[in-house]
Every structure is written in C-alpha cells, then in structure tokens.
Amino acid sequence: MKELPLSKAYQFIEPGPVVLVVTSLHGQPNLMAMSYHMMIADGDRPLIGCMLGSWDQSFETLRITGECVLAVPTVDLAPKVVGIGNCSGIDTDKFKIFGLTSVTAEKVKAPLVAECLVNLECRIADDGLIDKYNLIILEVVKAWIDPDREECRLIHHKGNGTFTVDGETLDLRDRMVKWSSYVQR
C-alpha cells in the first residue's frame, strides 16, 4: 500500500448523489449543490445530516428560515448542477440563469424544482452540531417523485470535479435475510 494524503480520503467515501439545496428568503429562491450528506434515520421520520459551508448564502438562509427542499437531479442536469455549485445566490438568480422551474411546495416556503426526479421538503430537526461542524440535521416532512421520468440515473461527486453516474444494478435481494423488510418496501 502507498500512503494516501489525508486530504484525499473524502474522495473514496461515497457521500451519495449530488443534490440541490433549495432555500427561499423573502420570496427569493436560491439553489446550491451539495454532496456532503448522509441518511441518519429512515422510516416515517427520515433524518438527513447535511454539511453546508458558512460561506454559502444557502447556509445563512437555511439557518434563518429553518427549512429547505432537497431536490435530486439526474445526469442530464449535471452541467447545471456544477454551475449552480460555482456561483452565489448573493448576485445570481440561479433559477433564471440555469433555466429551472420552481413549483410551490406544500409544507415549506422553499420551492420544488420541476426538472428534478425527487424533491424532499425538509425542516431543521436539530441545530446542535452547526457551530462545531456546520452539520445540520434535517427532517423530511414531505416527499415527491416524478413518476413519468425516463432518465433516473443520479450523479455522484468523486470529490475533484469528476462524477460517477449510476450504472449497473446488482440484485441481491435474496440475500437480505436480516433486512427483508427493506426488500419488501
């Protein structure tokens, strides 16, 4: 084994698909790209841990409003997702610039993104780790999926501007003997 610089460790821990964090302040919606997230609980009260940098306008808005939408884009949106993650809502109307359509959400003021496969309406469930790690625990309070979409492949950031696209599916359901409840979902 050759030593790996510590700064590269994160490139090998798949954090899940890149998502868009949608926030809204005083009726002005904004978007950012986010790949530092993890499921903390599933079932009827899903909890998701999200790391937002304090340099992000979205971080400030999320702290103030306590709510957001996590919109899950597919591979066709990848160039827009990277663009969204490389400019700031302070001086850019990202819905307009990137040609995305906002749709009124049901439980939060931040809008859904019509072009995304899935939209999760979220509220902050726990802010206790924000000061230490910028880690925000979100609770999903409403979830939406576009059932008519043909393109369902998600994108996964490799940590350096390259991405892996969802590919081959392995069906090992018959081995999920301890977790058969997951298989039946």
Ligand X SMILES: Cc1cc2nc3c(=O)[nH]c(=O)nc-3n(C[C@H](O)[C@H](O)[C@H](O)COP(=O)(O)O)c2cc1C
As measured in angstroms, the least distance from the Cβ of 40 to ligand X is 15
Listed ranges 32-40, 98-106, 136-144, 165-173: which one lies at the site for ligand X (CB under 6 A)? 32-40
Q: Exposed/middle/buried for 60, CB within 10 Å: 0-12, 13-18, 19+?
A: middle
Listed ranges 49-57, 68-76, 102-110, 172-180: which one lies at the site for ligand X (CB under 6 A)? 49-57
Using CB under 6 A, count the residues that bind ligand X. 20
Distance CA 91, CA 112 (A): 21
- Length of the chain in terms of residues written: 185
Does the footprint of ligand X cover residue 144 (CB under 6 A)?
no
- Residue choice 29, 73, 89, 111 for contact with ligand X (CB under 6 A): 89
Nearer to ligand X, 55 or 175 (CB): 55
- Residue choice 11, 28, 88, 164 for contact with ligand X (CB under 6 A): 88
Residue 54, phi-psi category: left (phi > 0), alpha (psi -120 to 50), beta (remainder): alpha
- Residue choice 22, 24, 48, 56 for contact with ligand X (CB under 6 A): 56
CB 82 within 8 A of CB 33: yes
- Residue choice 40, 85, 109, 124 for contact with ligand X (CB under 6 A): 85
CB 29 within 8 A of CB 23: yes
Q: Which residue has the tokens 């009827």?
A: 44
Distance CA 137, CA 128 (A): 9
Interaction residues for ligand X, span 154-183 (CB under 6 A): 157
Q: Residues in the site for ligand X, rule: CB under 6 A?
A: 18, 30, 32-36, 51-53, 56-58, 82, 85-89, 157
